[in-house]
């Protein structure tokens, strides 16, 4: 009998040899829990990364639109936020108003009317009509040789280099499509040279509307925030 054989056991139940029986350890519960937690964390990271990729490829998401729109709208100041934001909202809703432009009246503008077309009597007819509208009419006749039969448009406004642009603007309301030029004159009068495309002056109603728009420009539309 071997020394490893318990008393009372012999025969086929006795233990022989020099190797000791080894008992396997039970798997640690801690390792199982850590493995489960690690798997869950890995799945969460993969899901978050997928959401980030979707957000990148969908550039028109609400969050991006909100962020982009926020740059165009002014933010409320701390004082306005404390008072309920009413002053800031009123300032945002109101459009910037341009100041009224001071235009010279027709009675302060001297205009010479010249006819560069083959039609006879055109300069006198236009000069008489401008006089009725309050302009001071100077010389009336055929256009100088430099312009005679050489004006394809409706007309040319010709003044000195120092002529106020407002004078050109007021005269331009009487005849649409005119161009502006300057010469070496030193006087304040302006030439209206009638071209081949001229048919008639603007109606007084249309000219008055154009003058009103020049004097009181339409305010720019406000941004919708």
- How confident is residue 91, by pLDDT bands cut at 50, 70 and 90? very low
Q: Where does 115-200 have alpha helices with state H? A: 122-132, 165-172
Instruction: Give the residue among 117, 119, 164, 158 at the shortest CA–CA distance from 139.
Output: 158
Q: What are 154-194's pLDDT values in tens digits? A: 999 999 999 999 999 999 999 999 999 999 999 999 999 99
Does residue 194 or residue 23 have the better pLDDT?
194
Q: Of 133, 134, 151, 131, which Cα lies nearest the Cα of 193?
A: 151
The whole model's pTM is what? 0.57
How crowded is residue 75: how many other Cβ atoms within 10 Å of its Cβ?
10
185 touches 160 (CB < 8 A): yes
Identify whether the C-beta of residue 132 lies closer than 8 Å to the C-beta of residue 106: no
Strands 190-194 and 179-182: unpaired
What confidence tens digit (pLDDT) does each residue in 38-66 have?
777 766 665 666 566 556 555 554 445 44
pLDDT tens per residue across span 191-224: 999 999 999 999 999 999 999 999 998 776 666 6
Cα–Cα distance between 100 and 114 in angstroms, integer? 33
């Amino acid at each position: 009998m071997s020394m490893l054989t318990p008393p009372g056991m012999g025969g086929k139940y006795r233990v022989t040899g020099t190797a000791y029986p080894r008992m396997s350890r039970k798997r640690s519960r801690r390792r199982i829990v850590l493995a489960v937690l690690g798997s869950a964390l890995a799945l969460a990271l993969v899901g978050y990364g997928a959401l980030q990729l979707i957000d990148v490829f969908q550039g028109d998401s609400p969050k991006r639109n909100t962020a982009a729109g926020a740059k165009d709208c002014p933010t409320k100041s701390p004082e306005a936020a404390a008072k309920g934001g009413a002053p800031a909202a009123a300032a945002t809703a109101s459009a910037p108003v341009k100041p009224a432009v001071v235009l010279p009246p027709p009675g302060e503008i001297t205009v010479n009317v010249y006819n560069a077309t083959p039609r006879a009597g055109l300069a006198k007819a236009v000069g008489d009509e401008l006089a009725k509208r309050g302009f001071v009419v100077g010389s009336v006749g055929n256009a100088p040789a430099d312009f005679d039969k050489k004006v394809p448009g409706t007309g040319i406004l010709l003044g000195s280099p120092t002529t106020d642009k407002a004078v050109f603007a007021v005269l331009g309301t009487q005849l649409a499509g005119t161009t502006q030029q300057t010469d070496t004159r030193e006087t304040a009068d302006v030439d209206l040279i009638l071209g081949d495309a001229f048919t008639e002056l603007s109606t007084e109603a249309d000219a008055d509307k154009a003058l009103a728009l020049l004097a009181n420009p339409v305010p720019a539309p406000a941004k919708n925030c």
